[in-house]
Amino acid sequence: MITESNPFSGMLSILKQDAGKYRINQFYMQGEITMKLIETQYSKTAKGHYSPGVLHNGILYISGQISRNLDTKEKPEKFEDEVKQALDNMELVLKTAGLSKEKVLSIRAFIPSIELWDEFNSAYASWFGGHKPARTVVPCRDLHYGCRVEIEAIAAAD
């Protein structure tokens, strides 16, 4: 379904649904700022006030993705599997926007302890293969739902 309005009359919302799997809302504000809000099929159950992804000027900004399985809401037991799950959740946002992991420019990862850095690095390198985006690993305190990994990303969309 596509709904359109005059982009210079204020706010425009375009809603596109593909078999209920995702939706992309596009907003124009007075013809100055263009944003596409990328939402996966799981966005409806998210409790926070945010979009999983925002596309602006050829760049996709992906909100922090935690290490819970999006279907079961469970987190893996092994830390390496948590890293993979968070990256898989990030990839879902990428795919919803029509992108692949090779388009990722930068990653910011949050883990509860720097002692987990080696395990994080190993799982991360395995998941990305030869692609090496810029990366920051930030040791932090507790993450939501007891997860030990949260990953946000920036990707090229052009």
Listed residue (134, 145, 138, 101) closest to 117, CA to CA: 138
Report the helix count and the strand count for the chain, using DSSP H and E.
2, 8
DSSP class of residue 100? Answer: -
Polymer length in residues for the chain: 158
Q: Which two tokens stand for residue 73?
A: 């809401």
3 state SS for 65-81: EECCCCCCCCCCCCHHH
Cβ(101)–Cβ(156) below 8 Å: no
What pLDDT was estimated at residue 14? 42
Taking the chain (158 residues) in runs of 10, the rounded mean pLDDT of each run is 32 42 49 81 77 93 95 95 98 96 98 96 98 97 94 96
Work out the angle at residue 48's Cα, subtended by the Cα atoms of residues 139 and 54, and round it to the nearest 5 degrees.
80
What pLDDT was estimated at residue 49? 83
Cβ(157)–Cβ(108) below 8 Å: no
What pLDDT was estimated at residue 24? 53
Cβ(137)–Cβ(111) below 8 Å: yes
- DSSP characters for 136-156? EEEE-S--GGG-S-EEEEEEE
For the chain, the domains span: 14-156
d(CA 24, CA 18): 10
Q: 14-156 has which fold?
A: 60s Ribosomal Protein L30; Chain: A; (3.30.1330)
